[in-house]
Amino acid sequence: MRTIRMKIITGILMCSLLTALVIGALAIVNSTQLASKDAREKMQYLGTIQAQELNGMISRIEQSVNTLSDTVMQEFDYATFTKNKSYADKFTEEIQEVVFSFARRTDGAITAYVRYNPQFSNPTSGTFLTRNSLSEDFTAVVPTDFSMYEEDDVEHVGWYYTPVKAGKAIWMEPYLNENINVYMISYVVPLFAEDGTSIGIIGMDIDFSQITDIVDKTSLFETGYAFLVNADGNIVHHKEVASGTKLVELDASISEVVSMMENSGNQGIDKMYAYQGINKRMVYYELGNGMKLILSAPNIEIVSDANRMVILIGSAIIIAMIISSIVGVVVGTSISKPIKLLTGIISQTARLDLKPTQAGSKLRKQKDEIGIMAKEIHGMRSIFRELVSSLNNAEGLILDSVGNLDRIMQENSNRAGENSAATQELAAGMQEASSNTTNIVKNVVEVKNNSQNIYELAKAGEEDSKQIQVRASEMEKVSRESSDKTQKMYEVMKQKTDIAIEQSRAVKRINELTEDIKEISSQTNLLALNASIEAARAGDAGKGFAVVASEIGTLASQTFKTVDTIDEIVGEVNEAVSNMTECIMAMMGFLEETVLKDYDAFCESGNKYRTDADSFLHVMGQVGTAIEALEKYIVQIASAVEDIDEMVTQSSNGINVIAEKSGETQNTMAEGYEKLQICREAVGEFQKIVEQFVV
C-alpha cells in the first residue's frame, strides 16, 4: 500500500520532472538557436568591419592615384607629345615633385611611377620613385628600358601593357619584388587621349603587408581566421596554405563554396563546408581590388556557446530534481507525520480509550487543516468523556431512585385504601369548577395568540431595520471610500498632468536647436563656398582641397534638409501634445465637477439612509419591548388559568377515577416490584458498558 507520504513525494517529483523537462527542452532549443545565430552574426559583423577597413584603404589608394593622374593630365600637351619624343622627358621634370608629394601621402606606397607610350617617347622616359621600406623616403631611379623587352613579355613589362590593353584602371596580382624582398600589389591607371590613343600609365606599388596585416589580425572564436582569394578562386594570402593554390583543390566540398562566391549577391551569407574532416562555416566579402575576404571558423566553436548552454541547463535540471526530491521528502514527511499521529488518536478512541495524549496537544497548535482536525477530534473525545461521566452519575441516581421507588410503592399501597373514600366527596364540587375554568382558558389563549402575532411582526420589523441600518452604513462607507480614492486619484492625476504639460513644453527647445543647426549649416555652406573659391585660386595645388570643400558643402545642404524634416516632425509632436493636453484637462474637469460631487451626494444619501434606519430600529425595539412585556403577563395569566383548569379537570376526573383505581393500585404494586427487578438488571448491564471506557 502506498502511503500518503510516498504519494506526495511521487507527485512533487513527477510535477518537478515534467516542469523541468518542458522548460529545459524549450530553453535548450531557444538558447541553442540564439547562441548559434549570435555566433554567426558575430562572424558576419566582424567580416563586414574588416571588409570596410580594407575597402577604405583600397579606396584611399585608388583616390590618390586617380587624383595624381587627373593632376598630371591637366598640363599635358598631347599634340606636342606625338610630334617630339623629348617632350615626355621635359614634362617629367615638371611633374616630378607632384609625384613625390602624392607618393609620400599614399599609405603603404613602395613605388610610384609615370611611364609613357614608347611609340612617342624615349625607351626610358618617365619617372620611377622607389624605397626599400615604409620608413625610408623615396628616391628617383632610371625607369625600365622598354627597348629591352617585347610587348608580350608579361614578366618584365606586363605591369605596363596589361592595364593599357584592359583600357581601365586595374589592380595587378600581388608579386614579390626580389630586389627589396617585399610582396607588393600594384594599382595602375592607363592614360588615353581623346581619340583613344594610349599616352602611358600612372601607378603605385603598395606594400601588400598593409592589407595582409589587417587580414592576419582577424580572429574568430578560438581558431577561426581570415584569408584572401582572387577573382579566379586562387588563394592570395593564407596563414596555412601557399599563395596561388586553387581553393577547390583543398577539399571536394569547397567547390560549393566557390560556386556560391561566383554570385556577388551571396556575400555576407554564411555557408557550411568541410575541410580536412572538420565541419566549418565561412562568409565572404568582395573587396574593391577584385579580391575576396573570406572568414572561416570551425562549426564546433561557433556552437560552443550553445553547447555550454545545453550543459548548463542540463546541470540546472539535475540540481532542480535533487532539490525537488529533498523538498518532496520534507513536505511529505511534514504532512504524513501529523496524519499518522491523528490516526493513532482515532485508533485509541476506537478502543474506547479517552485518556488525553501529548501528541494531540501538539497537533491542536498547528494552524492548518491538521490542527482543525485535531481540534475536532479533541472536541469529540471531550464529549465522549462528559457522556461517560454523565452515565456514571446517572447510574448512581438510577440506583437511588429504584430504592426510593421501592419504598414509596410500599407506602402508596397502604394509602390507596384511605384515598378511595375521600375522593367520592370531592367529585361533585370539582365538576362545577371545571366548567368555569374551561371558558377562561379559551379567552386567555386567544389573547395570547394575538399578542404573539404582534410580537413576531415587531421582531421582524426590528430585524429588517437592522439590515437596513447595516446596508446604509455599508453604502455610506463605500461611498466615502470611493470619494476619498477618487479625490486622491484626481490629485495625483492633476499633479502628473501639470508635470507632463510642463515637460511637453520642452519640445519647443527643439525648434531653437534646429534654428541653431540651420545657422551652423548656412555658415558651413558659406565656408565651403569660400574654400572652393580659394582652391580655384590655388590652381592645381588646391584641387584636392576643392574636393573636400565640395563634400563639406554637400554635407551642409543635407544637414539643412534634415533640419527641415525635424521641424516638420516637431510640428506634429507639438500638435499631438496640444491635443493630449486638451483631452487630459477635459477629463480632469469631468472628475472635479461631476464625479467628486456625485460621490458627495452618495455619502449624504447614505448618511440620511442610516439615520432613518436608526429611527425605525428604535421604534421597532420599543414596540417589541412593549409586546414582550404584555406577552409575559398574558403567559403568566394563561399559565395560571391553565394550571387551574388542568388542576380542576384532573381533580374532577381524578376523584372519579381514584375511587375506582385505588382498588387496582394494590393489584399493580406486585407488577411494579417485578419491573423494579428488571431495572436493577438493566442498571447492571449499563454499568458493564460504562466500565469499558478509559477516562
Q: What is the pLDDT of residues 408-452, one digit of tens each?
A: 666 655 665 565 555 566 556 556 656 655 665 565 566 566 656
- Label residue 138 by pLDDT band (50, 70, 90): very high
Region 488-613: CATH code: 1.10.287.950
Three-class DSSP category at 112: strand
> Cell 563554396 belongs to which residue?
257
DSSP assignment of 452-489: HHHHHHHHHHHHHHHHHHHHHHHHHHHHHHHHHHHHHH
The larger pLDDT score, comparing residue 339 to residue 408, is at 339
**Best CA proximity match to 509, nearest among 465, 574, 553, 449:** 574
Strands (E), 465-587: none
In one letter, which amino acid is 682? A
> Cell 596563414 belongs to which residue?
239
The larger pLDDT score, comparing residue 386 to residue 282, is at 282
305 is written with which cell numbers? 556557446
**Residue 271 phi, psi dihedral angles, 5° rounding:** -135, 135
Query: What is the per-residue pLDDT for 312?
Result: 76
How many CB atoms lie under 10 A from the CB of residue 87?
20
Q: What is the pLDDT of residues 284-324, one digit of tens each?
A: 999 999 999 999 999 888 877 667 767 777 787 788 778 87
Query: What is the per-residue pLDDT for 355?
Result: 78
Whether 201 contacts 99, CB under 8 Å: no
Whether 271 contacts 256, CB under 8 Å: yes
Task: In whole angstroms, give the CA distance from residue 263 to residue 320.
Answer: 51
Position 570 pLDDT exceeds 80? no
**Best CA proximity match to 81, nearest among 50, 56, 118, 109:** 118
Query: What is the per-residue pLDDT for 434?
Result: 60
Query: What is the per-residue pLDDT for 303?
Result: 77
Chain mean pLDDT for the chain:
77
Q: What is the pLDDT of residues 194-205, one digit of tens each?
A: 899 999 999 999
333 is written with which cell numbers? 514527511
Query: What is the per-residue pLDDT for 294?
Result: 93
- Label residue 190 by pLDDT band (50, 70, 90): very high
Q: What is the pLDDT of residues 585-613, one digit of tens each?
A: 766 676 567 656 665 765 676 677 567 65
**Best CA proximity match to 192, nearest among 88, 78, 102:** 78
Q: What is the pLDDT of residues 474-484, one digit of tens each?
A: 766 766 776 67
323 is written with which cell numbers? 532539490
**Residue 131 phi, psi dihedral angles, 5° rounding:** -155, 155
Task: In whole angstroms, give the CA distance from residue 288 to residue 62.
Answer: 9
Show the CA angle centred on residue 592, arms to residues 590 and 594, nearest 5°: 55
**Cβ within 8 Å of residue 585, ≥6 positions away:** 497
Task: In whole angstroms, give the CA distance from residue 411 to residue 419.
Answer: 13
In the chain the first and final C-alpha atoms are separated, in Å, by: 34
Query: What is the per-residue pLDDT for 305?
Result: 66
Task: In whole angstroms, give the CA distance from residue 463 to residue 374.
Answer: 37
> Cell 440506583 belongs to which residue?
399
- Label residue 70 by pLDDT band (50, 70, 90): very high
**Best CA proximity match to 479, nearest among 592, 597, 600, 608:** 600
The larger pLDDT score, comparing residue 614 to residue 423, is at 614
Region 75-213: CATH code: 3.30.450.20
- Label residue 692 by pLDDT band (50, 70, 90): low
Position 635 pLDDT exceeds 80? no
Query: What is the per-residue pLDDT for 490?
Result: 67
Which segment of 6-10, 158-162, 447-451, 495-499 scores lowest on mean pLDDT? 447-451
Q: What is the pLDDT of residues 363-408, one digit of tens each?
A: 787 777 778 887 888 788 788 777 777 767 766 776 676 666 666 6
What are the sequence ranges of the domains in the chain? 75-213, 488-613
β-pairing verdict for 170-171 and 139-141: unpaired
Task: In whole angstroms, give the CA distance from residue 628 to residue 632.
Answer: 6
Task: In whole angstroms, give the CA distance from residue 312 to residue 299.
Answer: 20
**Best CA proximity match to 302, nearest among 327, 278, 329, 267:** 278
**Cβ within 8 Å of residue 584, ≥6 positions away:** 497, 500, 501
DSSP assignment of 199-234: EEEEEEEEETHHHHHHHHT--BTTTBEEEEE-TTSB
